[in-house]
Amino acid sequence: MPASVTAALLVIGDEILTGRTKDKNIGYVAEYLTGIGIDLREVRIVPDEEAEIVSAVRALSERYTYLFTTGGIGPTHDDITADSIAKAFGVGIDLDPRAVALLSERYKPGELNEARLRMARIPAGADLIENPISKAPGFKLGNIIVMAGVPSIMQTMLDQVAPTLETGARMIIETLEADGLAEGLYAEGLGAIAQAHPTVSIGSYPSFSSSGFRNQIVVRGKDPAQVGGAVAAVRSLLERLRSSAVPARRPL
Amino acid sequence: MPASVTAALLVIGDEILTGRTKDKNIGYVAEYLTGIGIDLREVRIVPDEEAEIVSAVRALSERYTYLFTTGGIGPTHDDITADSIAKAFGVGIDLDPRAVALLSERYKPGELNEARLRMARIPAGADLIENPISKAPGFKLGNIIVMAGVPSIMQTMLDQVAPTLETGARMIIETLEADGLAEGLYAEGLGAIAQAHPTVSIGSYPSFSSSGFRNQIVVRGKDPAQVGGAVAAVRSLLERLRSSAVPARRPL
């Protein structure tokens, strides 16, 4: 098992950048990949413009084990993901007989017009990712996994492709409640614990709620002993502070 | 008024990339900037790692009129945004007396410990952005606007900084309902309309709902005449199709 399998996610679509559509895929993909032992290291959102897609696809696919994309694989003129990816890699793109066969299950011969056939344009050498909901497939070309933007379809595509991917050690994530303690009170101790556990990443996340605030400390790492040691150290820091500090009225 | 004022958003935080926290800032910033005449052209999410932040900050601030960042300005060791930005620009960073004064409104002298004072570390030459909620300020350095990650605080910071920014022509956005029509049916006509209106961007967005599906066509542009012309053309395309087509059972 490799120590670390990494990924980036590229979200393609003007509708996300104008705020017209609120993305629902980033959080889902992040949690999903973390859960199967793939570290999501970067996310980018770019418009429906070929030059932007080509340049992001090249940069991200070179840098990480996998690049996932969402959006831009429908039948309309603004769906240019497949063509942009073929261009990024200098491979051909044409109607793929396997994809045409899948679309033919859904559309009668007269219905399968030129626009709908755009959804069967697949770069040469790609493996298809089936789409049980609307048939138009995603695909995997090299280390790039191209998925639909509609969340329900994206999710079924991720389920299909996941078992074929290399995965690494899974991240162990432990959350500790720091209720009643302000970040500024435990920050110094937390920094010392982080320094003493270099393979572990420790984050502190204040959030506000109707009942006041809620601070949580999250310890993440792949070495169970290191994570366990850091969690124990954080727990004893919080206990020590709780026994001496006046309950905070504010999170920071 | 400049023809186009552009922006990127850089979201900083491991918690977003692991899926622990679902981002609520991207959609908000996207809609907000679009509404005031700033075109959000790119979004990136990177981890709490100096090298990643420095490299993204340099790339994005060079390329766009403004770069907005969210996250990483609290009191704990993983809050490294201000230091990373100083490093990206080769400017100094130290305790800022104005920021210390703001924090002193909230914390008694004994409470203002080293960790909390981290929130007053501001790169040299930056303007502060006040934070009425928890006092720790954001800042603007050159074309970079550094904001908190907590959505309520980020939103007040955006409200404060917005009036000081250069803005361009506002995007006109018109949404047309294509209910009952499949994308594959209007795709060809829509592509022709898009080609005939080169300054306008036209998107088609299928979505699934409990009652079936809902297709919407969105026309965006800055030239009222071009947008109006495209909208009229799309409307007449949809009417023509509705009068001849059998209502679709599927969106594509």
In angstroms, rounded to a whole number, what is the distance separating the alpha carbons of residues A14 and A26?
A: 16
CB atoms B115 and A191 under 8 Å: yes
The alpha-carbon gap from A151 to the nearest alpha carbon of chain B, in Å, equals 9
**Residue A12 at interface with chain B, using a CB cutoff of 8 Å:** no
CA distances from B130 to A64, B12, B17, B156 (A): 38, 20, 28, 9
Residues in chain B within 8 Å Cβ distance of A209: none
CA angle B131, B135, B140 (to 5 degrees): 50
The alpha-carbon gap from A87 to the nearest alpha carbon of chain B, in Å, equals 21
Q: What global pTM score does this model have?
A: 0.94
The alpha-carbon gap from A13 to the nearest alpha carbon of chain B, in Å, equals 9
CB A128 within 8 A of CB A97: no
Instruction: Please give the pLDDT value at position A109.
Output: 82
In angstroms, rounded to a whole number, what is the distance separating the alpha carbons of residues B240 and A63?
A: 48
Per-residue pLDDT of chain A (252 residues; tens, 9 = 90+): 556 899 999 999 999 999 999 999 999 999 999 999 999 999 999 999 999 999 999 999 999 999 999 999 999 999 999 999 999 999 999 999 999 999 999 998 888 999 999 999 999 999 999 999 989 999 999 999 999 999 999 999 999 999 999 999 999 999 999 988 989 999 999 999 999 999 999 999 988 777 778 899 999 999 999 999 999 999 999 999 988 866 676 777
Q: Which residue of A has its CA nearest to B116?
A: A184
In angstroms, rounded to a whole number, what is the distance separating the alpha carbons of residues A205 and A26?
A: 19
Q: Find residues 160-199 of chain A whose CB sits inside 8 Å of chain B.
A: 171, 173, 175, 183-185, 187-188, 190-191, 194-195
In angstroms, rounded to a whole number, what is the distance separating the alpha carbons of residues B164 and B125?
A: 16
Residue A131's nearest CA partner among A114, A152, A108, A116 is: A152
CB A16 within 8 A of CB A1: no
Helix (H, G, I), strand (E, B) or coil at A64: coil
CA distances from A203 to A72, B21, B119, B194 (A): 35, 12, 16, 47
- pLDDT tens, residue by residue, B190-244: 999 999 999 999 999 988 777 778 899 999 999 999 999 999 999 999 999 988 8
**Residue A122 at interface with chain B, using a CB cutoff of 8 Å:** no
Spell out the domain ranges in chain A.
6-164, 172-244
Q: Which two tokens stand for residue A28?
A: 């889902």
Report the 3 state secondary structure along chain B.
CCCCCEEEEEEECHHHHCCCCCCCCHHHHHHHHHHHCCEEEEEEEECCCHHHHHHHHHHHHHHCCEEEEECCCCCCCCCCHHHHHHHHHCCCEEECHHHHHHHHHHCCHHHCCHHHHHHHEEECCCEEECCCCCCCCEEEECCEEEECCCHHHHHHHHHHHHHHCCCCCCCEEEEEECCCCCHHHHHHHHHHHHHHCCCCEEEEEEEEECCEEEEEEEEEECCHHHHHHHHHHHHHHHHHHHHHCCCCCCCC
Q: Which two tokens stand for residue A172?
A: 């162990």
The alpha-carbon gap from A28 to the nearest alpha carbon of chain B, in Å, equals 7
CB atoms A201 and B30 under 8 Å: no
Beta-bridge partners for A140: A127, A145
CB B70 within 8 A of CB B12: yes
Helix (H, G, I), strand (E, B) or coil at A45: strand
Tell me the HSE value of B14 on the side-chain side, using a 13 A CA sphere.
20
The pLDDT confidence band at residue B247, using thresholds 50, 70 and 90, is low
A8 membership: H or E segment, kind and range: strand A6-12
Residues in chain A within 8 Å Cβ distance of B43: 11, 16-17, 43-45
Q: Which two tokens stand for residue A72?
A: 């831009």
- pLDDT tens, residue by residue, A40-51: 999 999 999 999
For chain B, the first-to-last Cα distance in angstroms comes to 40
Q: Which two tokens stand for residue A137?
A: 């497939």
Region of B90 (left: φ > 0; alpha: ψ -120 to 50; beta: rest) is left
Q: Report the b/e string of A42-69 with b at 16+ CB within 10 A.
A: bbbbbbbbeebbbebbebbbeebbbbbb
Residues in chain B within 8 Å Cβ distance of A16: 26-27, 30, 43
Q: Which residues, other chains included, contact A52 with Cβ-Cβ below 8 Å and sequence gap of 6+? A: A46, B42
Residues in chain A within 8 Å Cβ distance of B23: 26-27
CB A177 within 8 A of CB A205: no
Residues in chain B within 8 Å Cβ distance of A121: none
Instruction: Please give the pLDDT value at position A20.
Output: 93
Give burial (CB, 10 Å; 0-12/13-18/19+) of A132. Answer: exposed
**Residue B143 at interface with chain A, using a CB cutoff of 8 Å:** no
In angstroms, rounded to a whole number, what is the distance separating the alpha carbons of residues B105 and A9?
A: 42
Instruction: Please give the pLDDT value at position A212.
Output: 75
Instruction: Please give the pLDDT value at position B206.
Output: 87
A172-244: which CATH architecture? Answer: 2-Layer Sandwich (3.30)
CB A20 within 8 A of CB B218: yes
Look up residue A182 and give its amino acid: A
A33 membership: H or E segment, kind and range: helix A26-36
Q: Which of A20, A187, A220 sits opposite B115 (nearest CB)?
A: A187
The pLDDT confidence band at residue B160, using thresholds 50, 70 and 90, is very high
Q: Which residues, other chains included, contact B159 with Cβ-Cβ below 8 Å and sequence gap of 6+? A: none
Q: Which two tokens stand for residue A199?
A: 């393979």
Residues in chain A within 8 Å Cβ distance of B252: 74-75, 116, 119, 134, 136
Q: Find residues 63-102 of chain B whose CB sits inside 8 Å of chain A.
A: 74-78
Instruction: Please give the pLDDT value at position B134.
Output: 87
CB A73 within 8 A of CB A85: no
The ipTM estimated for the assembled molecules is 0.94
Instruction: Please give the pLDDT value at position A77.
Output: 93
- pLDDT tens, residue by residue, B74-127: 999 999 999 999 999 999 999 999 999 999 999 988 889 999 999 999 999 999
Domains A6-164 and A172-244 belong to one CATH topology: no
Residues in chain A within 8 Å Cβ distance of B31: 18-20
Q: Which of B14, B134, B204 sits opposite A76 (nearest CB)?
A: B204
The alpha-carbon gap from A183 to the nearest alpha carbon of chain B, in Å, equals 7
Which CATH class name applies to B6-164?
alpha beta
Residues in chain A within 8 Å Cβ distance of B8: none
Q: Which residue of B has its CA nearest to A219?
A: B15
Q: What percent of chain A has pLDDT over 90?
A: 85
